[in-house]
Chains A and B, each alone.
Chain A
Amino acid sequence: MALTREQMAQRVAREMQDGFYVNLGIGIPTLVANFIPEGMEVMLQSENGLLGMGEFPTEETVDADMINAGKQTVTAVKGASIFSSAESFAMIRGGHVDLTVLGAFEVDVNGNIASWMIPNKLVKGMGGAMDLVAGADNIIVTMTHASKSGESKLLTECALPLTGKGCIKKVLTDLAWLEIEEGAFILKERAPGVSIEEIQEKTQGKLIVPDHVPEMVFA
Chain B
Amino acid sequence: MAGFDKVVTSYADAMAGLEDGMTVLAGGFGLCGIPENLIQEIKRRQTRDLTIVSNNCGVDGFGLGVLLEDKQVRKMISSYVGENALFEKQLLQGELEVELTPQGTLAEKMRAGGAGIPAFFTATGVGTPVGEGKETRIFNGREYLMEEAITGDFAIVKGWKADRYGNVIYRHTAQNFNPLAATAGKITVVEVEEIVEVDELDPAQIHTPGIYVDRIIQGSFEKRIEKRTVRSTD
Residue positions of A touching B, CB distance < 8 A: 46-50, 55-59, 62-74, 76, 82-86, 88-89, 92-93, 112, 117, 122-131, 134-135, 161-166
Contact = CB atoms under 8 A, between A and B. Distances in A.
B111 interface: yes
Contacts, number: 175
Nearest to B114: A86
14 contacts: A55-B231, A65-B223, A66-B173, A67-B225, A68-B173, A88-B107, A89-B104, A112-B127, A122-B91, A123-B82, A126-B102, A126-B103, A131-B104, A135-B124
Contacts of A47: 103-104
A123 B79 CA distance: 11
B177 interface: yes
Interface in B181-234: 207, 223-231, 233
A161 B32 CA distance: 30
Interface in B116-159: 122-130
B171 interface: yes
Contact of A165 (B80, B126, B180, B207): B126
**Interface SS of chain A: helix, strand, loop or mixed?**
loop
B29 A48 contact: yes
Contacts of B228: 62, 73
Given A73-B229, A93-B122, A135-B124, A65 B80 contact: no
A92 B225 CA distance: 26
A76 B175 CA distance: 15
A69 B111 CA distance: 20
B82 A124 contact: yes
B178 interface: yes
A127 B55 CA distance: 8
A49 to B, nearest CB: 5
B118 to A, nearest CB: 17
Contacts of B171: 65
B32 A131 contact: no
A134 B122 contact: yes
B128 A63 contact: no
B103 A71 contact: no
A166 B228 CA distance: 37
Q: Which among B55, B128, B160, B172 has the greatest number of chain A C-beta atoms within 10 A? A: B128
B127 A131 contact: no
A70 B229 CA distance: 11
A67 B226 CA distance: 9
A135 B123 contact: yes
A125 B230 contact: no
Contact of B175 (A59, A64, A83, A161): A83
Contacts of B79: 125-128
Contacts of A125: 78-82, 100
Q: Which among B108, B174, B176, B177 has the greatest number of chain A C-beta atoms within 10 A? A: B176
B181 to A, nearest CB: 10
A213 B169 CA distance: 55
A130 B82 contact: no
Given A56-B231, A58-B231, A65-B171, A85 B107 contact: yes
A47 B79 CA distance: 12
Contacts of A131: 102-105, 122, 124
A122 B84 CA distance: 12
A128 B104 contact: yes
B146 to A, nearest CB: 14
Contacts of B172: 63, 65-66, 76, 82
Given A85-B55, A130-B102, A70 B227 contact: yes
